[in-house]
Chain A
Amino acid sequence: MKLRFILLTILLVLAFGADILWGSVSLSFHEVWGAFTSGDGDNIIRQIVLNYRLPKAFAALLGGAALSVAGLLMQTLFRNPLAGPDVLGVTSGATLGVALLTLGSGILPALAFSPWGQSMAAILGAAILMLAVLIVSLRVPHTVTLLIVGMMFGYFAGSIISILQSTSNPDTLKLFITWTFGSLSSVGWGQLQVLCPLLFIGILMAFMQHKYLNVLLLGDHNAMALGVSVFRVRWQIIAASSLLAGAVTAFAGPIAFVGVTMPHIARGVFRTADHRILLPASLLIGSVVLLVCDLLSQLPSHPLPINAITALFGAPILIYIILRRQ
Chain B
Amino acid sequence: MKKAVISLFLIPFFAACGKGDAKRADSPVGDTLRTVYAQGFDLIQHEGYLSAVVYNPWKEGEAYARYYLVRDTLVKTPSDGVKVRIPLQKLAVNSATYFESLKLIGELASVKGTCNVSYIYTPEIIRGVKEGKIQDLGDSYNLTIEKLMMLRPDAIMTTAYNVQDENTKRLAQSGIPVLYNIEWQEVTPLGRAEWIRFIAAFYDKLSEADSVFAGIAQRYESLKQKVAGAGLGKKPSLLPGQDFRGTWSMPAGGSFNARLYRDAGVSYFYTDEQGKGSVTTTIEEALLNFGNADVWIGSVANTYQELADMDSKYKLFKPYKSRRVYNFNKRITPSGGNDYWEGAVVHADLLLSDLVKLFHPELLPDYETTYIQELKEK
Cβ distance B129 to chain A, nearest Cβ, rounded Å: 12
Name the A residues within 8 Å of B277 (CB-CB). 169
Contact between B59 and A113 (Cβ–Cβ < 8 Å)?
yes
Chain A 153-177 against B: per-residue CB contact (8 Å), 1 yes, 0 no? Answer: 0000000000000010101101100
Instruction: Give, as a whole number of angstroms, the nearest-CB distance from A129 to chain B.
Output: 21
Q: What's the nearest-Cβ distance from chain A to residue B115, in Å?
A: 10
A303 with B163, Cβ < 8 A, contacts A48-B149, A48-B150 known: no
Residues of A within 8 A of B146 (CB): 23-25, 48, 52-53
Q: How far is the CB of A124 from chain B (nearest CB, A)?
A: 14
- A23 CA to B149 CA, complexed, in Å: 13
Instruction: Kindly provide the distance from the CB of B137 to the nearest chain A CB, expressed in whole angstroms.
Output: 8
Q: Are A172 and B164 in contact (CB under 8 A)?
A: no
Report B-chain residues with C-beta under 8 Å of the C-beta of A172: 161-163
With A52-B145, A102-B163, A112-B164 in contact, do A44 and B152 touch (Cβ < 8 Å)? yes
Compute how far the CA of A24 lies from the CA of B113 in the bound complex, rounded to whole angstroms.
15
- Set of chain A residues within 8 Å of B149, measured between Cβ atoms: 25, 44, 47-48, 52
Whether A179 lies near B145 (C-beta < 8 A) is no
- The complex places the Cα of A301 from the Cα of B144 at a distance, in Å, of 9
> Is B173 on the interface with A (CB-CB < 8 A)?
yes
- For A114, the chain B residues whose CB sits under 8 A away are 164
Tell whether B78 is near chain A: CB-to-CB under 8 Å. Answer: no
- Residue B170, interface by CB 8 Å: yes
Q: Which of B59, B136, B165, B166 lies at the interface centre, i.e. has the most chain A CB atoms within 10 A of its CB?
A: B166
Q: Complex formed: what's the CA distance from A301 to B137 in Å?
A: 9
A34 at the A/B interface (Cβ < 8 Å)? no
Query: Are B161 and A175 interface neighbours, CB within 8 A?
Result: yes
Q: How far is the CB of B167 from chain A (nearest CB, A)?
A: 7
The size of the chain B interface, using a CB distance under 8 A, is 30
B162 touches A302 (CB 8 A): no
Contacts A115-B164, A171-B161: A302 and B169 contacting too (C-beta < 8 A)? no
Q: Which residue among B147, B164, B174, B277 has the maximum number of chain A CB atoms within 10 Å of its CB?
A: B164
Known: A25-B150, A185-B170, A302-B139. A118 touches B164 (CB 8 A): yes
Known: A52-B146, A303-B142. A113 touches B165 (CB 8 A): no
Distance of A169 Cα from B164 Cα, bound (Å)? 16
* Residues of B close to A178: CB separation below 8 A: 141-142, 165, 167
A230 contacts B by Cβ under 8 Å: no
The A41-89 residues at the B interface (CB cut-off 8 A) are 44, 47-48, 51-53
Query: Can you list 30 A-B pairs, Cβ within 8 angstroms, ordered by A?
Result: A23-B146, A24-B144, A24-B147, A25-B150, A44-B149, A44-B150, A47-B149, A48-B150, A52-B145, A52-B146, A52-B170, A52-B174, A105-B58, A105-B162, A112-B162, A114-B164, A115-B164, A115-B169, A117-B164, A118-B166, A174-B141, A175-B161, A178-B165, A178-B167, A185-B170, A186-B166, A188-B173, A302-B136, A302-B138, A302-B139
The list of the 3 closest CB pairs from A to B, nearest first, reads A186-B166, A302-B138, A25-B146
